[in-house]
């Protein structure tokens, strides 16, 4: 903490003060938002879970990549869900094909370790989210998973540091 911040933040004081950001500043610094578009990303986790409706699903965690580590979106993480139901199999196939793990009509079998560090392009779209208190936030969601132009297997040196969800 800088000397200026130390002066403004007196831990022993009973006074609390802060300059709140404008809505635009808050949106720009939102860890869960990026402008609409395509972003290179790597799979950092994959879990098996059940949806609220009781359907089996896979939960995918992606981390955005960048050629320049100073890119403000570098290292941001996003989660996507693929339900394992007949109506949603197209989405599962989209993910697996983009990650070079299978093609439509094939039987696929893989381990979590086969998926981690594979890359793809994420088509991201912003949407408004209203929490239980009625406050609205702008978040980004994974709309599509597309093949990366350089393939799914990624050189390790391109990976950023992992941040917690």
How sure is the predictor about 10, in pLDDT bands with cuts at 50, 70 and 90?
confident
The predicted pLDDT at position 26 comes to 62
How sure is the predictor about 162, in pLDDT bands with cuts at 50, 70 and 90?
very low
CA distance 4 to 15: 17
Q: Is the pLDDT of residue 163 over 50?
A: no
Strands 136-147 and 119-130: antiparallel
pLDDT per residue over 99-139, tens digit each? 999 998 999 999 999 999 999 999 999 998 888 888 888 88
How sure is the predictor about 68, in pLDDT bands with cuts at 50, 70 and 90?
confident
In the 3-class helix/strand/coil scheme, how is the chain assigned residue by residue?
CCHHHHHHCCCCCCCCCCCCCCHHHHHHCCCCCCCCEEEEEEEEEEEEEECCCCCEEEEEEEEECCCCCCCCCCCCEEEEEEECCHHHHHHHHHHHHHCCCCCCCCCCCCCHHHHCCEEEEEEEEEEEEECCCCCEEEEEEEEEEEECCCCCECCHHHCCCCCCC
How sure is the predictor about 156, in pLDDT bands with cuts at 50, 70 and 90?
low
Name the pTM for this structure.
0.76
Instruction: Please give the mean pLDDT across all residues of the chain.
Output: 85
CA distance 85 to 103: 17
Across 23-29, average pLDDT: 61
For residues 72 and 148, the model is more confident at: 148
The predicted pLDDT at position 25 comes to 64
Joined together, the tokens standing for residue 154 give 């990624």
Whether residue 129 contacts residue 141, with contact meaning beta carbons closer than 8 Å, is answered with: no
Q: Is the pLDDT of residue 7 over 60?
A: no
From the CB of residue 63, how many other CB atoms can be counted at a distance below 10 Å?
21
How sure is the predictor about 49, in pLDDT bands with cuts at 50, 70 and 90?
very high
Q: Which CATH number describes the domain made up of 36-157?
A: 2.40.50
């Amino acid at each position: 903490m800088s000397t200026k911040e130390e002066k403004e933040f007196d831990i022993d004081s009973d006074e609390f003060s802060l300059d709140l950001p404008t809505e635009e500043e808050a949106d720009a610094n939102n860890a869960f938002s990026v402008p609409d578009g395509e972003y290179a990303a790597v799979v950092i986790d994959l879990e098996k879970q059940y949806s609220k409706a009781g359907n089996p699903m896979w939960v995918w965690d992606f981390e955005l990549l960048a050629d320049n580590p100073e890119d403000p979106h570098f290292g941001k993480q996003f989660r996507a869900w693929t339900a394992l139901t007949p109506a949603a199999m197209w989405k599962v196939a989209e993910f697996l094909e983009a990650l070079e793990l299978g093609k439509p009509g094939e039987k696929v079998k893989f381990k979590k370790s086969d998926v981690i560090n594979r890359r793809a392009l994420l088509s991201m779209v912003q949407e408004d989210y209203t929490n239980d208190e009625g406050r609205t936030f702008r978040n980004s969601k994974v709309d599509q998973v597309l093949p990366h132009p350089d393939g799914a297997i990624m050189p390790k040196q391109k990976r950023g540091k992992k941040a917690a969800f």
